[in-house]
Amino acid sequence: MGGDESKALPAAAAIEVFHTWTLAHDDIIDSDKRRRGQPTLHEEFCRRGQEELMLGAKDAKHYGLSVAILTGDLQHGWSVSLLAELTNKYGLSPQLSLRLIEELNTYVTCNLLSGELLDIQYSKLPVESLREEDILSMLWKKTAVLYEFAGRAGAMIGLEVSEPHHPLVQALSLFASRCGLAFQLQDDILGIVGDEEKLGKSVGSDIREGKKTTIVYYAFKKATAEQRRYLRGILGNKRATEGRVREVADLLVELGAVERTRSLAERYVADAIEHLQKIPDSRYKQLLATWAEYIVCREF
């Protein structure tokens, strides 16, 4: 895109901080205990509450949840402050900074939160009541919308334009959006067949939570009546044993649902690279193409 790449640093930091607060809240919603090989934020502060503040188990849990929620809220505000630095410290136009701040706080936040809400609601519904497009729309909202914003912000800063409908801005936005969908699909695959040591978080939690991923959707389309009954008995059962969770994971693989989801992720990457071809050649363009291809090969 051209431009001074250092001017994009505040936006890059803002997106990373924004993403981090969503993870902190998501870990609470999903009752996850590990993230990136470490205790999740609420689990870490629960431990500190017990060890440093001498709290009982119930109070320590509430303390951990409270600190994690507030930390996420703080990071949300910090991400907006970082975007303001585009003008205050790097001299970009106020119109550009305000456009990105407004988009992050409205378009991105509203879509992301509605996607997270749909994820929760869908986990309580029978998969037969959902369409494939319902699930993909939910995945776009909860994951790909932030990728799309990252692509759009980078292009607008590089071109120093405040107009999001610029052809090059749209091309990079669509590239990033497709990559976001592929990333989430691969994340769902790793949640079923990933290596916990490499992944840094528990495998199988999506099964216990009853997450309605494309994997589950495709499995039900192909499963026999008996297999569907078995899956219904385990999906969403938080007390399911490791053995049962592994049996479900194996069945999802056996039914071809994991491979079909992988193929879908690969198609999104191919589509993403088509959009990427519309931007001028540079070493960064090649780096983005390599990164896109890595998305569906990653193991963590």
Q: What is the token pair recorded at 89?
A: 């410290």
The crossing angle, in degrees rounded to 10, of helices 132-139 and 109-123 is 140
As a whole number of angstroms, the distance between CA 157 and CA 171 comes to 14
- Alpha carbons 9 and 2: distance in angstroms, whole number: 15
pLDDT of residue 2: 76
The domain spans of the chain are 5-295
Three-state SS string over 3-68 comes to CCHHHHHHHHHHHHHHHHHHHHHHHHHCCCCEECCEECHHHHHHHHHHHCCCCCHHHHHHHHHHHH
Count CB-CB contacts under 10 A for residue 199.
18
Give the pLDDT score at 4: 87
Tens-place pLDDT, residues 105-127: 999 999 999 999 999 999 999 99
pTM: predicted TM-score of the whole model, two decimal places: 0.94
Q: Under CATH, what is the fold of the domain 5-295? A: Farnesyl Diphosphate Synthase (1.10.600)
Which tens digit of pLDDT belongs to each residue from 164-215?
999 999 999 999 999 999 999 999 999 999 988 888 777 889 999 999 999 9
Place of tokens 């931007």: 279
- From first to last of its 300 residues, the chain has per-residue pLDDT tens of 778 899 999 999 999 999 999 999 999 999 999 998 899 999 999 999 999 999 999 999 999 999 999 999 999 999 999 999 999 999 999 999 999 999 999 999 999 999 999 999 999 999 999 999 999 999 999 999 999 999 999 999 999 999 999 999 999 999 999 999 999 999 999 999 998 888 877 788 999 999 999 999 999 999 999 999 999 999 999 999 999 999 999 999 999 999 999 999 999 999 999 999 999 999 999 999 999 999 999 988
Q: Torsion angle of alpha carbons 133, 22, 205, 236, nearest 10°?
A: -60
Backbone angles phi and psi of 38, in degrees to 5: -125, 160
Q: Which two tokens stand for residue 128?
A: 């037969």
